[in-house]
Amino acid sequence: MTPVQLVPRSVAKVWGRRQPGFGFAQAASGDDPIGEIWFEEPDHRSGALLVKYLFTSERLSVQVHPDDAEARALGHPRGKDECWVILKAEPGAQIGLGLKAAVAIDTLRLAALDGTIETMLDWREVSPGDVYYLPAGTIHAIGAGITLIEIQQNVDLTYRMYDYGRPRALHLEAALRVARPEPWQAPTQPYVLADARRIVADGHKFVVEQWSGARAGTLAPGTAAWIVPLSGHGRIGDAPVEPGQAWLADEQHSLDYNGELLVAYPGSKVTEGLWVSSR
């Protein structure tokens, strides 16, 4: 396979921004705000993971995603775990992760109907560099004033529970069937391997690593990964790589980069020897 530069696609959202920043073009006059940039494979191919940028000016809906079994029972290819890497946050910006305390499903239903679910969420302030992994079933919402990268299982499947009175469809009963009405707990803690790979998410549906500094080499044989530059510059094969892009590459392609990268791949376990240095 040749290295694949993933194609960015702007997705309008009511809670988005007209000027997303981070090198992305502003919304055209008369267009809706840009909420997300999706990085997709050419020719509409659908890999296991999807990379997005999100830009918020208002709170997103209180929502939840189904797991693999629940999604496949409805004809979808997979469920949706997701991982957020915070890039920018205005002072006091928050995300809601899980509930402050466990509640019964009937209590959760009533809270979604009368809006008090918003106060039941565990809202926490965020800062650039924070990383959160959300297993499917986690009740969540992203607040205003945040730019983040989301790496997720590749499926467009969201159940809205509450949307602050916006005129958009809700999916309350579907959400209640898959939601975990309980506090969120970080499933993993970041750690660093001997080859200076920082593992920020593992043990679930995909692994996310952060690589910093200068690196030259290849991925290990038989591996492929989504590569998201955060800072710096370099090349994959003969192609220039810089922030604001996303790539899909394997062991056939040399990587020579100086800066910070996110590297993600499917599976619950960290791939030992993923990086083969040429230095």
Give the span between the Cα atoms of 179 and 176, in whole angstroms: 5
CA-derived radius of gyration, the chain:
19
- Give the closest residue to 17 by CA, choosing from 42, 36, 3: 36
Region of 111 on the Ramachandran plot (φ > 0 left; ψ -120 to 50 alpha; else beta): alpha
Amino acid at 275: W
Place of tokens 């009740």: 139
How many other β-carbons are positioned within 10 Å of the β-carbon of residue 170?
A: 18
Q: Which of 59, 160, 197, 215 is catalytic?
A: 160
Active site residue 160: yes
**DSSP one-letter code for 194:** T
CA distances from 172 to 104, 108, 118, 179, 180 (A): 15, 10, 14, 10, 13
Catalytic residue numbers, as ranges: 160
